[in-house]
Chains A and B, each alone.
Chain A
């Protein structure tokens, strides 16, 4: 099947690239993804439906006289893709020229192992339905008060094909299975904050264990919010769980180190390469090369090899994330962080982010000498341009010498860039979130905590 699909995509690519050239494109790039997926959905703590989908999506990028055009569509089997060439060229004819508009040349690419487990690729609805049932039974038997509002278990297999007029011609087969639950605990008249958990894998043998752990965490999170009471207002230290670090500290930092935001004047980290921007305990690495990794791939959205790169070393900023356009604009090479699907132009994104483990024991961090807020989850807003953030804490606790108690209606506020400098503890334990971010817990000093 893999050979057949790849051959079909290659033929489609040859046809459209030739048509783009004949229509006057100086350069053209085509990305096609053929995918098939099965999914069992959960609603109100029961299996809800089974779904099966197949689709091929194509994205065509052209340059003519230094001007860009881009069009994307799914294959309707009736020649609908033919309009992509006209659409993309029509845009290129009216777009202004830009010297940085060009496609990458082919370069060495190293295949990544175990991206498509054939045992997983064969999974059908009987498998997703069975695993979803097991997951529901596990949650129900753990605590009757927990309700699963919605969730799913699904398997997706895809063949990615990328080709360009500069000679890039790459293909990769990928498969993964994922599952999640969203819901809350209800105890009599009390409804606790809703929460979620889940996991994903490229390995069919590991997913049931991963989802069992996710189910246990989900139950703990939902029930942990029961009996939540008022917090207290203060300015001082806050403990961020790995989930909270992954939810708001890392995304804001990623935006600030994306070269497009730097170029557009939307990053306070512009001009700070080589400077200390975070506490010495923070080392951050982007890695897209791990065998079987969910965020791994041999090549990025533009066909540039994906690698491993330390972005922050001991709090010092080493550099930014680049795709090919931004690299040309900055006068450097792409870092292989061109991101996206065929349905969009290449953007910039990290692969798998890893924050180095620290020295502190997480359990010890959660028993501070003074009362502090331990943030399990965070629901709020961050302005990546200014770094200001503010939001409500969820699944969170007031911890201290007297133990821990769940809290509700508590907000924390501060500034991301100041917070990075004010990290006073990094846990030695780390959690892999969604298969794409490996992060420890952090204690951050001097945040504002407001109890409602």
Chain B
């Protein structure tokens, strides 16, 4: 490009700055959205992966109906592919905060908590303070529910009957550290058989403070290359054969143990031993976080396309207006002996500059601000360290090139007609597009009745087709966006209406404590019945428990009505699509769709 032409192009940018910025900003916005949403998923997964690696997060977990002995632990070490093995204890206990009692999961920490101990798995990450060094010390999670400071004491109880001293050496622990754990990155702390059924928080104490005969849990890590990332296909490929061999081992072990028990106790109803193998997908935090990342990726498939379309539209409109204004200029350059390419280069340079600057602006926003904002939104749900930002160079180049192509091609496209015209034609003012007889005119009785303005409008609609279609696409796009907004709004609102108006038809529920006496219960019932608003009531048994199917395990809530015929008056269970009522029968259980989805 010749010096003076380039000078003119830059002056053009300066003189039509608002147009230039318009293109620049829409490209920036498009790139930022595209890159931002697109990199959020890998950013999140990388953050997770780094965290899991740093904290030596387990790959598998074993559970048993009877617990594990040291011999069991030793035998697991021999399985091929296993790297670290950590047996551990846990129990759920109550602690009171002010007037409220909360269930806390107490987890054991191994004696050797040095970083090079490969058997030290699911390491808590210290946020404040230190790890327990002697008996009676504990670390506890950061949580809004439990607002404890270093040095405060936690007293644990085990409900009414059983005594804690059977299980723990001490019942009071001093908080020496605040931690977060790879086991619990989501807000879900799992279920428990005590209290409300929900674990509120976890704390970790030295293994030696437990007074249990058997380990409850064995966590395992496998030999895996550090380049293999969590949530990746390669991770699954490495772990799934180990899963199979663990499963086979567990089945065999259970059979052996059952035989031994049967030999020892010829008669008796001793429950049969069963070993369970769980992989990471049974950790709800791990799974939910991965799903959240994947959801971002799914959005990234659709959303940016919309922005590219808008960018094309804006670029097209701005550039065609510009070319229209510069007809005479193009003609003059032609007459001076410039070839078409040089003339087009002004518009292409203009568009290219806008898109490169916009693209770079977009990249810097997209790679940093967007993932951080999205991650901040997710951090309400997940306890994870600061987001790792990836600057994906090929991806950045692709977005820049796409932006560049979109803008320069539309610039070229709008001036191609002018470039092919004679200079003489360009220097004359453009002859108006010929008006045409439209179909409507042939329908005499309508056309006759139209006034002048509608007639002109009708003709112009067909006369300037591109303008017509651009307006149509523009309005169509906006309408679609509005409709999506309203649709989402409606859809979200009706969820509440349906759930609490049509399915849960009761107005109020009262939770009773576990071992309530009949007198107490009657007293409460009478008090309720004496209210003027009272109409009817039904007793339910409600229990939190874990439910398993094949290798998946999920927490769920079990509800048993006293009278199954009355259930429909309080909870109207129905098919999600046909809305047909699903009756509960004496010999069956109804699984909610959501639970089924999680299990299968």
Asked if A and B are interacting partners, one says no
Q: Residues on B close to A: CB < 8 A? A: none
On A, residues with C-beta under 8 Å from B are none
